[in-house]
Amino acid sequence: MTISLIRTLILYFVILIGMRLMGKRQISELQTSELVVTLLISDIAAIPMQDTDQPLVSGLLPILVLIAVELFLSFAMMRSRRFRRLLCGSPIVLIENGKLNQQKMRELRITIEDLWEELRQKDIFALSDVAYAIVETNGTMSIIKKPEKEVPTVSMLKISNTEPLFEAVVIHDGTFSSWGLSLCGKTQEWVEAVLRQENTRREEIFLMTATPQGGYTLVKKEDNR
């Protein structure tokens, strides 16, 4: 039992480090080669975990080889666009100026229901609103609306002197977040001044967010007594 636990932990940390080396992506964003490597690693790792008669190196070696191959392919794709197209393919236009390319849909085996589901997820409910719909190499679909159907932006409305508005967590469960303070350009002294103004203590705060413009939101801890 102890041996199985140790082997599992070793494999877990090796795979974790390998995945960090290969980069951060969601499953839906994996390229074909990355998805294949991920599936193979999961299958290979299961064998030495379950069968303690198998040498641990028989599982570690193939995993390390797959990680090395994936890193090599990633660097090769960065250096050569031709190699990347060969391995990952090219984006495919499904809709152009509201017109469906039925041939490409058949090639990709995308049904009308699949396409309409993608459109609805992008808040599009009419085919005539679409300028382009492009299937990317990782299988996701990028959709561009026609200009007259786009939500007006600040630049379209000619509004000047605007700053991005966002909130960053500066206190979480009574503890300062140095990363959040740096993100919104505030200091612990500024936060403490706000808390004095609100007549409360940091230890009583469950969540506090702040904006670069000086706005803030306080959520006090609930009394569970």
Residue pLDDT, tens place only, 10-66: 877 877 777 777 665 545 556 667 777 777 887 887 777 777 777 777 778 888 888
Nearest residue to 191 (alpha-carbon basis) of 172, 168, 167, 210: 210
Rounded CA gap, 199 and 215, in Å? 17
CB 149 within 8 A of CB 129: yes
Q: Which of 56-70, 72-86, 179-193 ranks highest by mean pLDDT?
A: 179-193
Rounded CA gap, 64 and 67, in Å? 5
Query: How does residue 206 score in pLDDT terms, banded at 50, 70 and 90?
Result: very high
pLDDT at 198 (0 to 100): 93
pLDDT at 25 (0 to 100): 54
The sheet with strand 216-220 has its strands ordered as 175-176, 168-172, 205-210, 216-220
pLDDT at 161 (0 to 100): 58
Average pLDDT, the chain: 82
pLDDT at 188 (0 to 100): 93
Convert 119-174 into a string of H (helix), E (strand) and C (coil).
HHHCCCCCHHHEEEEEECCCCCEEEEECHHHCCCCCCCCCCCCCCCCCCEEEEECC
Is-above-0.85 flag for pTM? no
Residue pLDDT, tens place only, 87-123: 777 888 998 888 888 998 888 888 888 888 888 998 8
Taking residues 209-215, report their average pLDDT. Answer: 90
For 77-86, 119-128, 165-174, which range has the lowest pLDDT when averaged over its residues?
77-86
What is the per-residue burial (b if ≥16 Cβ within 10 Å, else e) of 13-41?
ebbeebbeebeeeeeeebbeebeebbeeb
SS3 content of the chain, % helix, strand, coil (to 5): 50, 15, 30
Residue pLDDT, tens place only, 127-162: 888 899 998 877 788 898 888 887 777 777 777 655
